[in-house]
Structure 1
């Protein structure tokens, strides 16, 4: 075989993929044959914006306090006693629990207490190594917990609201002392 025919064969072998493109080596799967489907239709009642006020965020300075999600808690318990008697018993339990906090306000007419709860919490700062080699910061936190007593059937209902950690502490104390 001479060198001219070898060059022609080499050129012919090199030109075959160029003439046919990659379609010679491409498979024809169902994915390649798929056509675009028409877009989904949205029902007319879902296109309108919400018209009820339950999803509206209040404007800043509107007077309504807005708490962060998960930051507040509400709990309570039922007591088989009159509202007046339960309110007095709650007051005695709060006064005797000196390490829990102090009563900052009381209203006998509305059967409510406002309790200032002081607690110490540790806080980690920094990354892993900084937390490993430094002390935890201890901070004193003062929170207000509101306690109300209302009629509940033949007994009373004690409702506790405020910061979640403080609500748990106050509710645990009241469950222990009022049961």
Structure 2
């Protein structure tokens, strides 16, 4: 072995040793003392959640209502107006069918759509389109005309249809 190759090997080993000591000497793994968030000052520690607050309250989660509970209350009938009236004592579905028959009897009125689940007829009369709606209320069913904006229809055609329906259903 030549003297220069031996010198190079020793230098390389020494350089490697110094590099390892320098890089690992500053590592926290080799330091002694407290570790983790609990070792920080009180102002720097993360908040601790008490054990009873880390889960939601489930005490009333499986409460089943009693079978004799009261049914949902129907809304009170609005006061009769030129755009609607109340049919006393009738179920909504029965009144819906009667309104459909009365609408078909009105000359010049066309029903473009009927939705029994919604209780509405989409009608056109004298060039105007509006909904005739039947809603269940306390003591009967409320029949009303609603314009495309969702407010009570007060156009002459709608008022005329509601007046005709009221006269027909009163019999």
* TM category, shorter: 0.3 to 0.5
TM-score normalised according to structure 2 size? 0.46
TM-score normalised according to structure 1 size? 0.44
Greater C-alpha radius of gyration: 2
